[in-house]
A and B are shown apart, each in its own frame.
Chain A
Amino acid sequence: MKNTLRQVFHSPKFVAGFVIFALILLTMIIYPLFNPGNPLEQIGVGTFAKPGTYVSLYDAAKSPTETLRLADANDKRIASRLSDSDRVEMVEWFKIMNVSVEGLDISDTDALIDLWSANYDPSVRPQGMTNAKVNYYKRLNNQINELRSGDSILIADYDDEGNLIESKKISSEDYVNTKSVANVKFLPLGTDNFGRDVLKELVSATGTSIRIGLIAGIVATLIGLTFGLLAGYVGGVLDDVIMFVTNIFTVIPSFVLLILITYSLGQEQRGATVVATVIGFTSWTWTARSVRSQVISLRNRDHVNLSKLSGHSLLRIVLMDILPYIASYVVMAFILQVSSGILAEAQLSLLGLGPKTTQVPTLGLMMNWAMLYSAHTNGSWWAYFPVILVISLISFSLNLMNTGLDQVFNPTLRD
């Protein structure tokens, strides 16, 4: 036993898979300690906030400032405020005014602004241009001028008599240390379509998905193992009956069966555990078949005959004389079942047949939400890509462990 474990942990493939899986599990346990709370809490009002650090504008305005003179501050400011669409519109204006834009790089802010101030005239109104467009260009021009002048921003307030008075002047050289701002939120993976913290959701979803995989794996392995052991060891009519049922389940595509069962259960009944059990109930056939064939090769071995001659009961022979010989095989099958259980949940949820949507996030549900709100078409990669990565990593690590175990155990299985 000890020796086998040592052998297993000397297999590089198993160790690599084990480390990846252990890291995922550790993150699942440790992250909620640092970031507690409901993973489905909607912190954002809008959808798909980009990943990054969010600083409260209100608190920043009230915070004590330091004056820093940074040479490139103004350039950066202008460059960041001119959006790509603004730049395209500016080029559009040049074309209308018949200014040559050859060799102009729209990402070169300095050149663009020089050309703009030389060619823009607010009094010119090109033919056929809508009022809205004219006003847009005026606003754009004002913005550029304001940015270039580097003027302070005035914050006004009402005094006792109802007159506006200057309450605060924010100079372009004022800086706030983020540590002194009361509210700073770091969202490494932004928010999803409902304004929920994706990372927090992802960690919680990984936990749920692994739980679903484990339950599905345990259910499938238990059913498959029981049927396989009985059919293989007892044989005869029982074998025929069990194999008949197994064959029926094998020929009906299990995914179709899964869809039908989950659909007929209805939204209200579909908790994570129920979905996991259903997945387990539709995926045991493979385990049953392979366990049966292993048992058939074992049941006529001398040690089993000897055990019979010693008067041991069927249950004892199966548990003590047959099960230990196929245990490694069953563990490998179990690992594969867990992996396929997680994938099956993802597939089901992607179709909208996953666990109840208001209670827990799962990896499949996160993908389902991202797809429903077109995250893949509006460029919100953070809503679905990390989920795909985590699913792939879990599946990869489990399969890697399985391959490692296979290499360790197969020589002894072949004897």
Chain B
Amino acid sequence: MSEEVRNNTDFENKPLCLSGRGVTKIFGFGDKKTVAVDHVDFDFHEGEFVSIVGESGSGKTTLSKMLLGLSNQTEGQILFQGKPRDISSGRKKKEYWKGIQAIFQDPFSSFNTFQKVDNVLLDCINMRGGKSLSKKEKFDMMTEACNFVNLKFAELTNKYPFELSGGQMQRLMIARIFLLKPKILLADEPTSMVDACSRATILDMLLNLRDETGMTVIFITHDIGLAYYISDTVYIMEHGKFVEYGKADEVILQPKAAYTKRLISDVPKIHEEWDLSTVDQLSEN
């Protein structure tokens, strides 16, 4: 089934979208020093669906905050479209954020509960320079975006985000991305807080979004099975380092690192007994 999703494009030849050299994040200093991300290198290409897989505390979210420009790296360089990223001033940050957007883990805390759904979508239109558009045009754009994620804008208008279900909220987040059309979408565990049915829908929408707009999707997850199912490239992260990366097929079908093997064996399989032996092996090491 993974063959249907993946189109076996060779992304190495595509132009670089976001890359990093020796990106490091250190919290605290002295005895309390914690290295959350430790000198990682990566190259994400245009139109690539990248998964960053790792367990809790491996530094995935810290890395994503740095990629988004919400926090600065302690060391190293992040390149956006081949050029060193400059987010030193508010205006430059604003410009950068036109190119990169995010979907967060918890849909319930992603929305300002004091603002109506309309405002969330209107903000996106304004950010794309659609401030001067007529009311009708704006309405049409919002309706189109909602149609893309199987929501009816007419039913959502004048509602507050907390009146929607978790799945609906997460789809509204995707509608937001649809309106913004960034170069890069960073999805930080977007499916971990919604039920299995919504999860499939949301993943499907992310893939559609990639196919339609050609954006790079950086998908952060703890679920290696899910990563295998949807991504072109997989980066495995352990203790702030990429222990293995490459095409999804290669990494998951022929894992080299012990950590990758363990992650794969930890995926529950419906028709087999759950093999926990690798966990013991690893802890003995």
Contact = CB atoms under 8 A, between A and B. Distances in A.
Interface string B28-70: 0000000000000000000000000000000000000000101
Given A305-B102, A320-B112, 12 more contacts: A302-B105, A303-B109, A306-B104, A306-B110, A306-B111, A308-B97, A309-B70, A309-B97, A310-B127, A311-B98, A313-B90, A320-B114
22 contacts: A301-B109, A302-B104, A302-B106, A302-B110, A303-B110, A303-B111, A303-B112, A305-B70, A305-B104, A306-B102, A307-B112, A308-B70, A308-B97, A309-B101, A309-B102, A310-B97, A310-B124, A310-B127, A311-B94, A313-B90, A320-B112, A324-B114
Contacts of B93: 311
A325 B112 CA distance: 9
Contact of B123 (A301, A308, A310, A324): A310
A302 B110 CA distance: 5
A321 interface: yes
A302 B176 CA distance: 15
Contacts of B109: 301-303
Nearest to A322: B112
B115 interface: yes
Contacts of B105: 302
Contacts of A310: 97, 123-124, 127
Contacts, number: 47
Contacts of B68: 305, 309
Interface of A is mostly: helix
B236 to A, nearest CB: 25
Nearest to B65: A305
Interface in A323-361: 324-325
Nearest to B70: A305
Interface string A290-316: 000000000001110111111111100
Interface string B72-98: 000000000000000000100110011
B97 to A, nearest CB: 5
A324 B114 CA distance: 7
Nearest to B119: A320
B163 to A, nearest CB: 12
A325 B100 CA distance: 27
Nearest to B106: A302
Contacts of A305: 68, 70, 102, 104
Contacts of B101: 309
B127 A311 contact: yes
A306 B98 CA distance: 13
Contacts of A302: 104-106, 109-110
Contacts of A307: 112
A140 to B, nearest CB: 81
Nearest to A309: B97
